[in-house]
Structures are given as structure tokens and as C-alpha cells.
Amino acid sequence: MTTPGASERPAPPQAVDEQPPDEPLSWIGRELDGRYRILEVLGEGGMGAVFVAEQLALRKQVALKVIRPELAGDGEMAARFAREAMASAKLDHPHVAAALDYGTLPEGGAYLVMQLVRGRSLADLIMKEGALPWARATGLAAQVADALAAAHAAGIVHRDLKPENILLEPRDDGSELVKVLDFGIASVSMDDGPAPEGAAPRRALTRVGMVMGTPGYMSPEQAMGEKVDERADLYSLGVILWECVMGVELFPGTELPAIVSKQLTEAAPDVGVVGGPPALSELVAALLARAPDARPESASTVRDALRQMTYRNSAAGPVTGSLPRVDPVSGEVSLPPFEPSLEMRLSSAVHERAPTLLAPATPAGPRKKTLLLAAAIGGAGLVLVAGLSVGLYLTFSDGGPGRPGVMTQARRVAEPEVPHAVQVKIDRMVQGTSQSTRRSAGRWLTGHEPSSEVPAWARAVGELEIARGCRTRRQALSAIRELGDVRALPSVERYHQSPHRGCGLLRQSDCYGCVRDELVETVQALGGDPNSE
């Protein structure tokens, strides 16, 4: 029995004589709206087909997804297709296949243009290789969690996350870049303006009691037709991570009642039997909790926990020391301080200068001395320096021509003790490697209550991170200059040193062109060197 509305697992390929009348091969060579030429077939499904197409003006290859004309008249199907366009267009994230364009076909139906991803699916990888090494599994799952964190921050719940919807794009260094696809049944916040033609932005695609999703990956509450939120995606991620580590399906079959019965009555086998760290077993168990409230609080928390495990294994050999811990009752994930290897500290210091270790230095030379000093102390000493430098900053200054370089002590900043949860968000905002991570932390800090728990400089940097226009960026930079706290310098320098190209239709415009002068002024006001790279 197949539950109405539930998306089925991929059917076996059709025989040649069973192809539908509108064979996808007949589309090759066709031009759409004078802008796209279809080159080859990528795949075919129940709603339509996916092609490789060429964007004629730029001669760039894209993925072009077409909904069958006979289905375009189905309001529910058309709304799902438009919903995928809206959800994908709202997300500009390295782990989400971005939507680029949307249009209608003369004979009916519609097409969606997306970023072309060349790679195999996670389902294909598991089917061919079986159980993955646990560190590889956590590395891939961390990328999926990063995509979910961005989607949830934008008000989007995927609701159909499964290995078939996760593509792995090979990189030059042999690693794999995860891309999450298929937001066709996503729950999307409609606060960002009108939807593409065919969508129903003020009408939910699903109602309480209606089941949509894939049996075996849906959370228990989703499978029973109850209201779902971001924690439903976390359950799906738990299933996927379990299957990556174990190499088999957690809930084989497609019969929804039998699967739900297992979800509600049987605990998933412990992944610890394959040699992963205890923290991995605890995290998977928390993700697969029957009650949403018992799962981790957010996708970003899960992502950070997975990164901890992965980096400790890849950078420092076998996993030792403290690891993320999961409360078996609340599902809360506790992250220990990440202690990277010496090699990682030396390589990452060039890109991200941690404010707890470094203060502004005028020329680049003295700043390098501080980096080497911190690195030479070793792991335990590095933690000690970081702990002592909350209110104390050491800087090197060459004193200008004729003056020897001296080490000076900056003023101690008198402020209340910062709560641990707030400090974690500050660290993510200042040291985060992705813009979405920094922006999410900045949004949390600027909205945190009581506001007195957030240092003024951190709140000002948070305003800069979430600013979307010239006026709000200028206001944030003005507040940072007025406060004059050197801890804001790394964040300001990141914007100041950003490329002068990368925005606009052709990616040739300066994303921060309107505030370049203010950035220089702010770097100088905080004691930094605007000419250093």
C-alpha cells in the first residue's frame, strides 16, 4: 500500500518500450524562451524530467527541470513545483543547489533553471560502497546540516530529506561537496514577496492529517499527519547518518503503517558497533528521538557537533579527549572547546584572527610574531592564553621609524561576565567560516534578551553581520567606531578585505562598495592597518 501524497522511493528504470509518449530525448535541441537550449537528459521522474541546458547569453551550462504539461493543470502539483522554485531561490548557500530562473512552457507546464551539479547521489554511494567510514559519514552529514541551518534560518523546512536528494559533487582535492536538492514539498515562509506564477503563497500545501514525504525518512509526527517544524528535518538527517554509517536502510520497505509502528516502538540499533566515537552514537540517538522536544535544538548545533568529530579525526589522528555530549532526556548537544592541531592553527590563522588571541597591529610583521608566539606555546598553552586574554590584549608595535618594536598592554575592558551560551554565539559570529554561520549568530545576539548579557561591541558586530543595505551597514560601522573595542577588528577587517567583485548580474560589482570608505575609517579607528592583507 502506498500512502496518498507520499513521495515514493525511485522506481526501477523503465524498459525502452515503456517510455512515456513525451519522451525526454525528443526535447534535446529545443530552445526555451530564446534563452536556454536543452543539451542532454539528466533524469526522469513522475512529474517531469531534468535536463542539462545551455544558458545562451553566457554559454553556461545549467540544470533545467520541467514539469509535464498534463500535470501543470493539477493545482497541487503546480504549487509544489513553484514551491521548489521559491525555496531554492531564497537560499544562497554552498550546500544548496540554487534556483536561477523560472518560466512557463507554451504548451502548458513550467520549467525551473537551477545550478548544475555533476555528481552521484548519496543513495548511489551507499548502495555501491555500503557502510562509510564514520568520519566520512560525519563530514558529509555536517554539510547537510549546514544546508538545513541556512534553510531553517530562512523559514524553510525541507520535509523530504533523503539520500536521493543529496548530491555529492567531486572536488579537485578528492573531497566531496554536498548539495541538497528537491524542495518541492518544503514548508516555506511567505514573507519575502510574491511567488512565481502558479504558486499559492497564502495557502499551505499540506494540512494537519495530510501526509507528504518519503516513508522511512519522515519523522513520526510527519508520518502521522501532525504539524511539523525544523526538528522533522533533524530526524530525517538522523536516519541518513545512521544509514551512512551502517550501510543499510534503517526502515526498509514502503509501507507507512509498518514503518511508523517501528519508529514508535523500536529504538534504532546503536551505531557504536561500527567503531565510531560514543558521541556519534549519542548524537544519532538524539536525532532519532520520537518526541521532537528530545531532539537537538537546531541544525547548526548538530552541524557543529559533527564538525568536531570530523576535524578531530582528520587533523589529530584518532579521536581522543572530550567530544560533543548529548543529553539523553533533552537532546541538548554540549560542545567542548575545539582544540585544533598545530598545523590547523598555523593554516587557519592567516584567514581568521581570533580576537581572544590577537589585537590590532599596525604592520603585518608584528602580527605574524604574535601568531607564531601563540602557535609555539602548544595546545595547552594556547588554551591558557585564550583564557587569559578575555580582558587583556597583547600587541606588538614597531613604534614607527627609529623606535624599536615593543610589546604593550592594552586597556582592560571592564564588563560583566558573559554567559557561556552568549560567548558561544560570539565565537561563531567572529570565527565562523561561512557567512550563514556568522549571520545566524549575529541575528541571535542582536535579538538576545536580556540585552545586557551581550557585550556592546558584539551587538554592534551582529548588526553589521545581518545588515542588508548601505544605510544599516553605515550605522553599524559608526557604532563600532564609537565603541572603539578592538575585539570588533577581525570582523570589520573581513569585510574590508573582501573582494571588490562578486555581486550583480555578472558578478562584477562590489558587494560593499557603498561603505568602503567607512570600512577603512573603522579599521583605522580600531588600530588596524587598512593596507594589510
Active site residues: 160
- Give the DSSP letter of residue 8: P
The number of CA neighbours under 13 Å toward the Cβ of 501 is 4
N-term to C-term CA, the chain: 62
Residue 139 has phi, psi (to 5 degrees) of: -65, -40
- Alpha-carbon dihedral sign for residues 111, 112, 115, 121: negative
**SS3 category, 55:** strand
Burial class for 222, CB neighbours closer than 10 Å (0-12, 13-18, 19+): buried
**Amino acid at position 60, single letter:** K
Task: Give the separation between CA 455 and CA 453, rounded to whole angstroms.
Answer: 6
**SS3 category, 65:** strand
Count other Cβ atoms within 10 Å, centred on residue 403: 9
Residue 332 forms beta bridges with which residues? none
C-alpha cell at 421: 551560551
- Give the DSSP letter of residue 53: E
Contact by Cβ (8 Å): 462, 441: yes
Contact by Cβ (8 Å): 158, 141: no
Q: Got the DSSP string for 331-400?
A: --EEPPPP---HHHHHHHTTT---TTT----SSHHHHHHHHHHHHHH-HHHHHHHHHHTTS--EEEE--S
